Amino acid sequence: MRKIESYYLFSDGELKRKDNVIRLTSPDGRFKDLKVEMTREIFLFGEVSMNTKGLNYIGQLGIPVHIFNYYGFYSGSYYPRETNVSGQLLIAQVENYTDEKKRLYIASEFIEAASFNLLRNLRY
């Protein structure tokens, strides 16, 4: 297993690449190196500045970064670029479209899900 930990960073500082690690340096000079080879995602709750060198490195490793404001509310995320999935997705869609049984199964699942949501909203 490669990516098993999520990092929750609550302290202020600067997040940047230092050699082959991501380093959070606090305003008083102390630092913490993140084990990027075992990182699933990073949650930033403090006042953290980042540079593009660090974001590029995080992106190459496929690690998303989720950012929260001063009050702990979600502000946004940085998601690394996915590998070329659009071609694979198109091929899978065409395969399902050309097979009539698969096409009818998917259509019936859409109808079932819509019915479930309608009933749930009516009960509410």
> Nearest Cα to 18, choosing from 62, 47, 53, 63?
53
Question: What letter would DSSP give residue 38?
Answer: G
Q: pLDDT tens, position by position, for the chain (124 residues)?
A: 455 788 898 889 998 898 888 888 988 988 888 888 888 899 999 889 998 888 999 988 889 999 998 888 999 999 888 766 677 888 888 999 999 999 999 999 999 999 999 999 999 8
Sign of CA dihedral 103, 107, 112, 113: positive
pTM value?
0.63
Average pLDDT, the chain: 88
The Cα 98–Cα 28 span in angstroms is 62
CB atoms closer than 10 angstroms to residue 15: 22
Retrieve residue 33's tokens: 């190196």
